[in-house]
């Protein structure tokens, strides 16, 4: 055997095997103490000392938290990326993976909200700096009393409902008969639509947009459209404003009578 290879060891009764009994090709110690490792470390080549091995991190002890992703923070450098928030998407920043809000997309916020026969329905902690614009999808609406209007208010920290200073105009366009607008000038709420049909009380569905509710103090504005199946009309909710600059966090829907509906909210970035 060539010089420098592990020394032949002869055991006798009572001998204790020690690190010094093993030499590498350079005659230096090449002993790894198992107790010096932490959980889930693995043996790997020591590139700073050719011919030696060392304890190194494995995926198991790098990924410390549920949802962690394994990636390279630099060449040959494994790292973990903690899980992002709900509805965030994986994207790239500075050549590295990061979680961020989806860009130029509709991102559903929370779950679809169903409410039944309530006087009003609040939607809290909706608005934040995460999105610049919000789209409210009214999948269905129903007012318990025929001919009632559908109304909108905004909510801010507290949460508190703003009950003054609204401005809006809703243009009701029936399939037959005359068009009519409903104006709100410094009123207690904006009116999404005024159901002037006495024979029906349901609203097929619709949607509207919020602008200027992106986590900073602004006087926001809103606009949208609704189709009222029972009143046989299309409603252009020309829109309005809250009339006051605030950091709004949510909104509230109500009617002239109890309301039932299904609404989902989307952030648009």
CB of 249 to another protein, least distance (A): 9
Residue closer to another protein, measured from CB, 47 or 111: 111
Tell the residue number behind the tokens 């998407």, with chain if given: 89
**Positions in the binding site for another protein (CB under 8 A):** 109-111, 113-115, 117-126, 147-149, 151, 161, 163, 177-178, 180, 182, 187-189, 191, 194, 196, 250, 254-257, 265
> Are the C-beta atoms of residues 193 and 171 closer than 8 Å to each other?
no
Residue closer to another protein, measured from CB, 81 or 144: 144
- Cα(252)–Cα(239) distance, rounded to whole angstroms? 16
Q: In the numeric block, which tokens belong to residue 173?
A: 């366009």
- Cα(173)–Cα(182) distance, rounded to whole angstroms? 11
Residue closer to another protein, measured from CB, 63 or 252: 252
CB of 269 to another protein, least distance (A): 16
Residue closer to another protein, measured from CB, 61 or 130: 130
Number of CB atoms found within 10 A of residue 265's CB = 22
CB of 173 to another protein, least distance (A): 13
Residue closer to another protein, measured from CB, 64 or 183: 183
Q: In the numeric block, which tokens belong to residue 175?
A: 């399939």
CB of 218 to another protein, least distance (A): 20
Residue closer to another protein, measured from CB, 191 or 235: 191
Q: Is 263 exposed, middle or buried (0-12, 13-18, 19+ CB in 10 A)?
A: buried
Residue closer to another protein, measured from CB, 63 or 208: 208
Instruction: Please list, in sequence order, all residues whose beta carbon lies within 8 angstroms of the beta carbon of residue 122, skipping any fewer than 6 positions away.
Output: 155, 159, 161, 250, 251, 252
CB of 139 to another protein, least distance (A): 14
CB of 195 to another protein, least distance (A): 8
Tell the residue number behind the tokens 């020394």, with chain if given: 7
Single out the residue of 176, 162, 179 nearest to residue 222, CA to CA: 162
> Are the C-beta atoms of residues 101 and 93 closer than 8 Å to each other?
no
Instruction: Please list, in sequence order, all residues whose beta carbon lies within 8 angstroms of the beta carbon of residue 2, skipping any fewer than 6 positions away.
Output: none
Would you call 159 helix, strand, or coil by DSSP? coil
CB of 95 to another protein, least distance (A): 33
């Amino acid at each position: 055997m060539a010089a420098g290879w592990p020394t032949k060891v002869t055991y006798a009764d009572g001998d204790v095997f020690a690190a010094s009994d093993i030499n590498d090709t350079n005659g230096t110690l090449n002993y790894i103490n198992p107790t010096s490792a932490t959980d889930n470390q693995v043996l790997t080549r020591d590139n700073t000392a050719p011919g030696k091995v060392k304890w190194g991190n494995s995926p198991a002890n790098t990924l410390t938290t549920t949802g962690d992703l394994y990636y390279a923070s630099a060449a040959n450098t494994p790292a973990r990326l903690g899980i992002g928030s709900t509805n965030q998407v994986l994207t790239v920043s500075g050549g590295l993976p990061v979680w961020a809000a989806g860009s130029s997309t509709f991102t559903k916020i929370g779950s679809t909200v169903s409410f039944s026969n309530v006087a009003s329905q609040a939607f809290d902690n909706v608005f934040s700096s995460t999105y610049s614009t919000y789209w409210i999808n009214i999948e269905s609406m129903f007012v318990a009393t025929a001919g009632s209007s559908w109304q909108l208010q905004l909510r801010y920290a507290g949460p508190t409902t703003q009950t003054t200073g609204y401005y809006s105009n809703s243009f009701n366009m029936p399939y037959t008969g005359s068009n009519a607008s409903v104006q709100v000038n410094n009123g207690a709420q904006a009116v999404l639509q005024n159901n002037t049909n006495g024979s029906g009380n349901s609203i097929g569905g619709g949607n509207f947009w919020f602008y200027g509710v992106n986590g900073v103090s602004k006087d926001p504005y809103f606009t949208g459209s609704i189709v009222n199946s029972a009143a046989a009309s299309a409603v252009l909710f020309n829109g309005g404003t809250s009339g006051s600059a605030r950091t709004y966090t949510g909104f509230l829907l109500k009617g002239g009578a109890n309301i039932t509906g299904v609404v989902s909210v989307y952030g648009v970035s």
